Amino acid sequence: MKPAAFEYHAPASVDEVVRLLSRYGDDAKLLAGGQSLVPMMNLRLARPAVLIDLGRVASLDYIQESDGYVAIGAMTRQRTAELSETVRQHAPLLARTLPLVGHAATRNRGTIGGSIAHADPAAELPAVTVALEADLVVVGPRGRRTCKAEGFFVSYLTTSLGSGEVLVELRLPRATADARSAFREFSRRYGDFAIVGVAAALRIDGGGKCQSARLAVIGVGSRPVRVVSAEGVLAGEILTDGVIREAGEVAAKEVEARGDLHASSHYRRRLTAVLIEQAVTDAIQR
C-alpha cells in the first residue's frame, strides 16, 4: 500500500522544527529514521496531514563525551552509536544493546532519538535509558527542558512530550569503574521485537557486594517497567546464584505481564525471571 497524501517539510534547524510543530499541532508527525513511521503510513495505520523530516537538522547528529555523561544527538544513527568507541567505553550497556535492535540495515537508517520517542513497549533503547537513569533533553515553544527517562514513557507509543516539543538529546551517565551492565532478550527470530527483554545496570564494590541495581523489563507492559522489588533483593548483597535466582522469582511476581498471540502472561513472567538471572549473571561476569 501507499501512504495517504501529506504535506512535506524538511527544516534545517530545531527552531524551525518547533515552529512547524506549533503551526500544525496534532496534524503533524516527525520523521526521524522512518523505520517505524513509514511502514505505519504505508498501511494507513498512521495518516499525518503534515510530515516534518528531521533528516536535514545536522545539529542533532553527534556523540560527545561531556562532564559526567555521554551526549547523543537525537538524529544520530543507531549504527553510528553501535560502532562508536566513545559509546563502547563510556556507555557500554548501550553498545551491548544496539546489535539487538532490528538488523544492520534498519540500524543504518534508524535513529537513537526516533526509537526513544516512538516509545514502543517492546523496543530495547527505552529500557536502556530507564536502567541507566538517562536524561532526555527536549525543546519546545517554552524553551529547553530535561526530564528523566523513567518519567518520559507514559504508555504504549505515548511519551510526556508536550505540544510543539521535540526530543533533541540523550544523556547517559558515564560508566564508572564499579559499573556492570548487560542486556538479555528473547525473540522468535533475531531482529524481531523482544517478547521479553531485560536491561540490567549494577554497581559492584571491590568486595563483590552489589551497591545498587536497576532492572528495566520490556515486553510485559505498555512501557519499560522497573522491577523495584527485585532490585531490592540484589542491593546490599553478594550476588550468589541463590540471590540472583531469588531476584528473578520476585520480578516474575512483580510484573503485570500481558498475554497476546505471541506469549501468555504466565510465559512472559517465566521469561522475566530467566532473563533477569541471565542479565545479572552476564553483568557481574563483565
For residue 34, the model assigns a pLDDT of: 92
Q: Are strands 7-9 and 50-53 parallel, antiparallel or unpaired?
A: parallel
Domain extent listing, the chain: 7-53, 58-173, 179-285
Q: How far is the C-alpha of 268 from the C-alpha of 286, rounded, in Å?
A: 26
Any idea which fold 179-285 has?
Answer: Enolase-like; domain 1 (3.30.390)
| Residues facing 198 on adjacent strands | 184, 217
Is CATH 3.30.465.10 what the domain over 58-173 is classified as, yes or no?
yes
Q: How far is the C-alpha of 94 from the C-alpha of 130, rounded, in Å?
A: 12
pLDDT at 264 over 90: yes
What one-character-per-residue DSSP string does the chain give? Answer: --PPP-EEE--SSHHHHHHHHHHHGGGEEEESS-TTHHHHHHTTS---SEEEE-TT-GGG--EEE-SSEEEEETT-BHHHHHT-HHHHHH-HHHHHHGGGSS-HHHHHH-BHHHHHHHT-TT-HHHHHHHHTT-EEEEEETTEEEEEEHHHHEEETTEES--TT-EEEEEEEEPP-TTEEEEEEEE-SSTTSPPSEEEEEEEEE-TTSBEEEEEEEEESSSSS-EE-HHHHHHHTTSB--HHHHHHHHHHHHHH------SS--HHHHHHHHHHHHHHHHHHHHH-
Share of the chain above pLDDT 70, in %: 100
What's the CATH code, domain 7-53?
3.30.43.10
pLDDT band for position 266 (cuts 50, 70, 90): very high
pLDDT at 61 over 80: yes
Chain position carrying cell 566513545: 86
For residue 167, the model assigns a pLDDT of: 98
pLDDT band for position 130 (cuts 50, 70, 90): very high
For residue 67, the model assigns a pLDDT of: 85
Instruction: Note the pTM of the prediction, 2 decimals.
Output: 0.95
pLDDT at 283 over 90: yes
pLDDT band for position 286 (cuts 50, 70, 90): confident
For residue 258, the model assigns a pLDDT of: 85
> Which range scores top for mean pLDDT: 37-41, 91-95, 206-210?
91-95
For residue 18, the model assigns a pLDDT of: 98
pLDDT at 1 over 90: no
- Hey, CA dihedral for 148, 149, 150, 152, is it positive or negative? positive
Give the distance, in angstroms, between the CA of residue 178 and the centroid of all CA atoms in the same chain.
Answer: 23
Q: Provide mean pLDDT across the span 63-70.
A: 94
